[in-house]
Structure 1
Amino acid sequence: MTEQTTELIFLKSSRKRRIAAFVIDHFVMTFLMVAIVFIALGPNFIDENNPSKMMTIMLFVMIPGFILYFAKDFIKGISIGKWIMGIMVRDENDHNEIPAFGRLFLRNLMIIIWPVEFVVLATNNKKKRLGDKIAKTVVVKSPNKPTKLPRVLALIGFGIVFFAFVFFFAGSAMKNSDAYKVAISEIEMNEEILSETGGIKGYGMMPAGSVSISNGKGQALLEIKVLGNKKDLNVSVYLEKESNEFWKLIEMQK
């Protein structure tokens, strides 16, 4: 009896798949780094006027983050984006061979000049970018890629996590700010709002608007939903603060 082996056939990835994989990778890796920075800063970071602390935290997160970014294909030549798009990195001369870690890292290091990489990929007839030429790699379709459903669910899952983080963390940070607390205090002392709502029973989950502080001076424009016993109101509050002073109400509209 003779043993038969099945030879895998590797087809080059399309440019569209590669670009989509890059966008997904960039989104996921950037989101992770930014999320870790904000978590490290804590929910009270809006009121902290400490640039050195912020810079230190960013360096401690960004440096290993960028190293991980450039090493994103180290698991069998496949990153998150490539897994979702069903493609992988292989040696240009032997598509069964996974390039060594150093070659994969060097290949991705060229993403620093991504506009040049995009032009090279778009114009190269072998569908290679500059990183592929230097590392002598090629991107091919995975012959053993998983079915479409888990890949689509993974993409949807990342989107849900992103929007949930932005919603809850941004809302928590805004509600923990001194500007928001002063705005709520002013709203609760406003007789017109108390009368129109029939008494305040709560506030919306996440205020809209912005709070900015520079050199101790600040401006805040908040859109707060006031939940009343008789009627709900959307109240706009504009506040300012001078250096080493408390927030002051400038204008309130409903």
Structure 2
Amino acid sequence: MNLINKRLEAFVTDVIISFAAGIPFFLISLLLNNNLIWMSFTLAFMYALLFCKDVENGRSFGKQNTGLCILSEKNEKAPSITRLFLRNLFYVLWPIEIILIFCNSGKRLGDLVMRTKVVQCAKEPNTTFRLTSKYLCSIFVVTIVLFVLFFFITRLIYEHSPMMRLLYSWDN
């Protein structure tokens, strides 16, 4: 299997995990009549999982499963947590990311800007993804920041849009 196919498999695995982890919060939101607080939290949590997926030495669950890892182009070592996080922020520009990965020898925009590369690494037997304190703290901090951002943006839209007031309730 070539590198682009492995990257795609790893990404799809990580997205499925992100959505699966967000489902309980989404269901709570539905039970609470689409409460904006829970919806904002759900979106923040799911995006935090996606943005922080590689902070554990450049290997997400999907990358570990496919034997891939992220390395810095400079020194061939795992990039810093900040660079890995910023690299994944470019997922919000997914149309550009898709075009670039197929036209630029398998590099995404995040790879180009952060000067990283995804390579085949030694696949460790029986490797399990560990929920380390570094990974959990990253998700926690990013979830809080995104929650505040999403909540206030949604609140602003809610206050100025009659359609949003019909869809969401602040009473619950």
TM over 0.5, yes or no? Answer: yes
Structure showing the higher strand proportion among its residues: 1
The letter for the 2-side match of 1:129 is R
C-alpha displacement of 1:74: 0.4
**Secondary structure in 2 aligned to 1:111?**
helix
Deviations, residues 169-201 of structure 1 (Å, cap 9, x unaligned)? xxxxxxxxxxxxxxxxxxxxxxxxxxxxxxxxx
Structure of larger gyration radius: 1
Matches within 5 A, 1:237-252: none
Equivalents in 2 of 1:60, 1:41: separation in Å?
Answer: 9
Matches within 5 A, 1:174-193: none
2:117 maps to which residue? 138
**Secondary structure in 2 aligned to 1:88?**
strand
Matches within 5 A, 1:73-222: 73-95=54-76, 97-125=77-105, 127-143=106-122, 145-147=123-125, 150=126
1:64 maps to which residue? 45
2:12 maps to which residue? 23
* More RCO (CA 8 Å, sep 6+): 2
Equivalents in 1 of 2:20, 2:98: separation in Å?
Answer: 22
Structure showing the higher helix proportion among its residues: 2
Equivalents in 1 of 2:108, 2:118: separation in Å?
Answer: 10
C-alpha displacement of 1:146: 2.0
**Secondary structure in 2 aligned to 1:140?**
strand
Deviations, residues 129-188 of structure 1 (Å, cap 9, x unaligned)? 111000100001112x123xx47x99xxxxxxxxxxxxxxxxxxxxxxxxxxxxxxxxxx
C-alpha displacement of 1:59: 1.0
1:222 maps to which residue? none
The letter for the 2-side match of 1:142 is C
The letter for the 1-side match of 2:65 is I
The letter for the 2-side match of 1:108 is N
The letter for the 2-side match of 1:81 is G
> Identity percentage over the alignment?
30
Backbone CA RMSD of aligned residues: 2.3
C-alpha displacement of 1:113: 1.6
Q: Which runs of 5+ in 2 are unaligned?
A: 130-165, 167-172
Is contact 2:14-2:62 (8 Å) kept? Answer: yes
The letter for the 1-side match of 2:57 is K
Deviations, residues 205-237 of structure 1 (Å, cap 9, x unaligned)? xxxxxxxxxx8xxxxxxxxxxxxxxxxxxxxxx
Equivalents in 2 of 1:41, 1:71: separation in Å?
Answer: 23
Equivalents in 1 of 2:64, 2:5: separation in Å?
Answer: 14
Matches within 5 A, 1:8-19: 14-19=3-8
**Secondary structure in 2 aligned to 1:73?**
coil
C-alpha displacement of 1:41: 4.3
Deviations, residues 100-148 of structure 1 (Å, cap 9, x unaligned)? 11111111111112121111011113x21111000100001112x123x
Normalised by the size of structure 2, how large is the TM-score? 0.67
